[in-house]
Amino acid sequence: MGENYITCQEENGSINISEEVISSMVRAAISEVEGVAGLSNTYGAEIAELIGLKSLSKGVKVQFTDGKIIVDTIITVTYGCNVVAVAKAVQEKVMNAVQAATGLENAAVNVHVSGIAFDK
């Protein structure tokens, strides 16, 4: 993922932002949302970790399509929290972080809740 860049063409040249940079910001934003127990791996990322490949983008996928940033997150929610409220809070926090970091207003944030985390 490190070699994939989001490119913004400006009149003075282009600005390239690594998708990994945006993934890092998204993970930081999600960690600030109350009720999020953690990020989950996608199926392919779990297999990659099993064979020894590190997945730096655990639970976060960033794409740049047709001038729009699309962020997919996979979270687990803490037991007892309102799942919809937590997902909406993640959506808002991530959207604000992406817009503040990139200056791009054209973004979409999809939140996938993969499970509930119970206290041990």
In a domain? residue 14:
no
pLDDT of residue 36: 95
Range of the domain at 41: 19-117
The amino acid present at 89, given as its one-letter code, is: A
Per-residue pLDDT tens digits for 49-108: 555 544 555 789 998 888 789 999 999 999 999 999 999 999 999 999 999 988 888 889
In a domain? residue 105:
yes
**Mean pLDDT of the chain, nearest integer:** 84
Q: Is the pLDDT of residue 2 over 50?
A: no
| Span 26-49, average pLDDT | 79
Q: Is the pLDDT of residue 44 over 90?
A: no
d(CA 111, CA 71): 8
d(CA 50, CA 13): 41
% the chain with pLDDT above 70: 84
In a domain? residue 12:
no
pLDDT of residue 1: 40
In a domain? residue 1:
no
Considering the entire predicted model, what is its pTM?
Answer: 0.81
Provide the CA 113 distance to its chain's centre, in angstroms: 13
In a domain? residue 4:
no
| Two tokens, residue 74 | 């996979």
d(CA 29, CA 25): 6
Per-residue confidence band for 43, with pLDDT thresholds at 50, 70 and 90: low
CATH code, domain carrying 109: 3.30.70.1350
Angle at 64 between CA 42 and CA 22, to 5 degrees: 65
